[in-house]
Copies of this chain bind each other. A is one copy, B any other.
Amino acid sequence: MWCIEIEKIVIKITGRIFDDDRGINVLTDISKLVLEKIKTGSRFILVAGGGRRAREYIELGRKLKLSEGVLDVVGIEVSRVNALILATLLGSEAYLPIPRSIDEFMKAWTSGKIVIVGGMQPGQSTNAVAAVVAELVNADLLVNATDVGGVYDSNPKLNPQAKLLKEIDVRTLEEIISSRMLAGYYELFDKVALNIIARSRIPLIFLNAYDVENIRKAIEGGDFIGTRVIYR
């Protein structure tokens, strides 16, 4: 098991957390968890998704006939507002302002603070950002906290019988990731992200963002509900 001495942890948090009151307590609890964990020497990178407001802005932009690339930029800016909210919750332990490029991310990381980012570049999801930064810092764990709770054998939003997989091989994961990419709409995990985690064999797990106690278990190396990616 890789659970001993986990030190550098990346958590990708779905943008939906910022959508409504359901997320308030979750955000507070995640902040508390992270602040607690850094006391024992762990370092954290949090990656915030865009959520409903990103989609609303992208919709507005589409009505204004903006191009796909620009719509992505708009979505990225919204994800950075989410990142800012998260950063201010973490107080003086968080790096500010929110890094807007890899250069700025590296500067932020060397500061020793918790680094919170949103999107970075059109054509890729915040999942790809999470994978890029996880590889750069040689992360011990990448937690993908979504609103579905892991990888299922079929779409859990359509099929109530869908079964959560405890483990999935990285190649199988690749097969089920669709190639469809529209601004603001990315699958569970995108291909750039996948290539990166595969080449550097970064420990990756998918779980539900709304169950903070479960996130704690995952980063402490305990039993958690969700899906672990396996490299052979």
Measured CB to CB, the residues of A under 8 A from B are 18, 21, 24, 27-28, 53, 56-57, 60-61, 63-64, 66-70, 73-74, 77-78, 80-81, 84-85, 88-89, 92, 94-97, 100-104, 106-107, 109-113, 120-124, 128, 131-132, 135-138, 174, 179, 181-182, 191-192, 195-196, 199-200
Contact = CB atoms under 8 A, between A and B. Distances in A.
Contact of A138 (B67, B85, B95, B196): B67
Given A122-B132, A124-B124, 10 more contacts: A21-B63, A67-B135, A68-B200, A69-B138, A73-B102, A74-B85, A77-B81, A96-B109, A97-B103, A191-B192
Which of A63, A120, A136 is packed against the most chain B CB atoms within 10 Å? A136
Contacts of A96: 106-107, 109-110
Contact of A85 (B57, B124, B137, B196): B57
Given A101-B100, A123-B131, A123-B195, A18 B67 contact: no
User: What is the interface of chain A mostly: helix, strand, loop, or mixed?
Assistant: helix
B110 A200 contact: no
Nearest to A57: B81
Contacts of A70: 88, 136
A81 B74 contact: yes
A39 to B, nearest CB: 16
B24 A64 contact: yes
Contacts of A179: 174, 191, 195
Contact of A123 (B28, B89, B138, B196): B196
A66 B89 CA distance: 7
23 contacts: A28-B64, A53-B57, A57-B85, A60-B85, A61-B88, A66-B85, A66-B88, A67-B136, A68-B135, A68-B200, A69-B138, A69-B196, A96-B109, A96-B110, A97-B106, A102-B120, A102-B122, A110-B113, A122-B135, A123-B192, A123-B196, A124-B192, A191-B192
